[in-house]
Amino acid sequence: MEINTNTLDLEKIIFTSKNILFIQDIDGVCIPLVKDPMNRKLNKDYIFAVKQFSDEFFVLTCGEHEGIRGVNRIIERTLGNKVSPKERGLYLRGLAACGVEYQNNKGEISFEGISEKEIKFLSSVPDIMRPKFIKIVKDLFPEIDDKSIDYHIKKSICNTRFSPTINFNSLFEIDKNDLNKRRDIQDRFEKMMNDIILYAESLGLRNSFFLHISPNLGTKNGIEIIKRSTANDIGSTDIQLLLKGALKDSGVLCLLNKFIGDKTGRKPFGDDFNFRKAPTNLEAKISFCKKYIREKDMPIIIGIGDTVTSQKSLDKNSFLRGGSDRSFLEFIQLLGLEFGIKNNIIFVDSSYGEVYRPSIKESGLKGITDKQDPLKFDLVFQNGPEEYINWFIKMAKRRYQIKN
């Protein structure tokens, strides 16, 4: 794939098309990646640019909107105010928790398709994790003291409402250059998360949860493959316990349902559609759209993400392709082809943050995509979130002027 960094073609589409929709990931795209998620920062002008795009923009993230770790807190910090984002509608509109948690720009949250029992179990997960975490860390780092363990618990266990997460970044720092240690951390905590799913099953929650690993090497038999650390790629840095069906490509369906519903007064998939009612595979999702969405209602979609991976398999005969943005970007690309629309896929190189990832400037698209990869990027921001944000702000301004 050629790396296109020229924004002109896409700008023409943005300035001249009637019906467009941005669907954008958050971390690594408009927020530079950091080791400690509590230190994430958002650009103020970006927040206002999103507001200018109005109903033509949604976020789609596996992070969450609400809670102490939520993106809403970053917005309040950036604007130095807890009231004005709500009053002025400056929260990022769209889906979080991989398609489960919707909010409008006033920060009003809704979530459908989840049972009381599932919510209750999710809220208990951080407590279930804690003793297991302590045991694993003591096994791996026998010298560690209790105070340090406490520190790492705070950094590593994220008590997010819909997606309790274990993050490895702070543990990776303990023996920075020990590759085997990094792999041990990944292996042990993957097992811990699988044990939690078994425990949920023992409580009768049989088809409720799955593990989302970031970044991953695609899926095998419906299970995500962990990306083990190598000398020059940190590999998977976190594992989330997610509600079954919480997938970004299902999120695209929910967002389209809302977008078209707002425009035409009729939601194509019905008023009670949610992520749990989405068809499971990509082909079925496409047929579903073709069945229910009229061609004239389908917008040109611009999908933006930063987490796409491709790695040669061990036998070197094939590629393992994954990454948490892959499914939704592939879906958007395919949807465009099926509807005869040129949808646009933007890749933002997030390797310049604190988290080590393959960098396009250093090694091209290796580790990200390959020649046979069905997913093609129409535009690449190789200088990372800052470059993307500056461009995005310009686009929002122009589009706003044209429309108003």
* HSE-CB of 312 using CA atoms within 13 angstroms: 7
For Mg ion, the closer CB: 289 or 329: 329
Task: Output 34 or 286, the one with its CB closest to Mg ion.
Answer: 34
Q: If binding is defined by CB under 5 A, does position 165 make contact with Mg ion? A: no
Q: Please name the residues in contact with 237: beta carbons below 8 A apart, sequence gap of 6 or more.
A: 167, 168, 169, 172, 214, 215, 355
Kindly tell me which of 43 and 274 has the beta carbon lying closer to Mg ion: 43
Residues 6-25 that bind Mg ion (CB under 5 A): 25
Q: Is 349 in the site for Mg ion (CB under 5 A)?
A: no
Q: Which residue is nearest to Mg ion (CB)?
A: 28
Amino acid type, 192: M
Burial of 237 (0-12, 13-18, 19+ CB in 10 A): buried
* Smallest separation, CB 180 to Mg ion (Å): 28
Task: Output b/e per residue, 143-176; b: 16+ Cβ within 10 A.
Answer: eeeeeebeebbebbbbebbbbbbbbbbbbbebee
Of 307 and 311, CB closest to Mg ion: 307
* Total residues interacting with Mg ion, rule: CB under 5 A: 5
Nearer CB in complex with Mg ion: 99/268: 99
Report the residue from 20, 28, 56, 289 that binds Mg ion according to the rule CB under 5 A.
Answer: 28
Distance in Å, CB of 32 to Mg ion, minimum: 11
- Residue 158, strand partner residues: 165
Confirm or reject binding of residue 238 to Mg ion (CB under 5 A): no
Q: Write out the DSSP string of 132-149.
A: HHHHHHHHH-TT--HHHH
CB of 164 or CB of 384, closer to Mg ion: 384
Up-side HSE of residue 169: CA atoms within 13 Å toward CB?
20
- Position 307 contacts Mg ion (CB under 5 A): yes
Q: What is the 3-state secondary structure (H, E, C) of 233-262?
A: ECCCCEEEEEECCCCHHHHHHHHHHHHHHH
Stretch of 5-13, 307-315, 367-375, 383-391 contacting Mg ion, by CB under 5 A: 307-315
306 binds Mg ion (CB under 5 A): yes
**Smallest gap from residue 306 Cβ to Mg ion (A):** 4
Contacting residues toward Mg ion, per CB under 5 A = 25, 27-28, 306-307
